[in-house]
Amino acid sequence: AQTVTQSQPEMSVQEAETVTLSCTYDTSESDYYLFWYKQPPSRQMILVIRQEAYKQQNATENRFSVNFQKAAKSFSLKISDSQLGDAAMYFCAYRSALSNFGNEKLTFGTGTRLTIIP
């Protein structure tokens, strides 16, 4: 079974600064997908960024980028130029790359609550 670990329950960052959220995972599969989801207080969970394990290039989405270290099973999220709207719970998640029935499951980490200091 796959496990996802987020060792930082809470983080804070000054507005406009950069912050990195950590995530490690354990799997015996060679092909899989990793995700960062954002859940603002009382608002819907949304996908921030996704990484395909067979791609060596780190994914980026505007101010969000990842550092994917496959051998180390590490998948950190870097938020640059932090904004007040970035305040949320951030979940790291794992999914098998198999596209068949029974493999649709997302396995989430325990989350990191990010606070932005004005």
Partner 1 sequence: DTEVTQTPKHLVMGMTNKKSLKCEQHMGHRAMYWYKQKAKKPPELMFVYSYEKLSINESVPSRFSPECPNSSLLNLHLHALQPEDSALYLCASSQGISPRDEQFFGPGTRLTVL
Contact 92, 109 (CB under 8 A): yes
Cα–Cα nearest to 64, from 83, 43, 79: 79
Question: CB under 8 A: which stretch of 22-30, 39-47, 58-66, 68-76 binds partner 1?
Answer: 39-47
Question: CB under 8 A: which stretch of 19-27, 62-70, 71-79, 108-116 binds partner 1?
Answer: 108-116
Cβ burial of 38 (10 Å; 0-12, 13-18, 19+) is buried
Least distance CB 81 / partner 1 (angstroms): 24
Question: Given the rule CB under 8 A, which residues bind partner 1?
Answer: 32-33, 43-47, 50, 52, 91, 95-106, 108-111
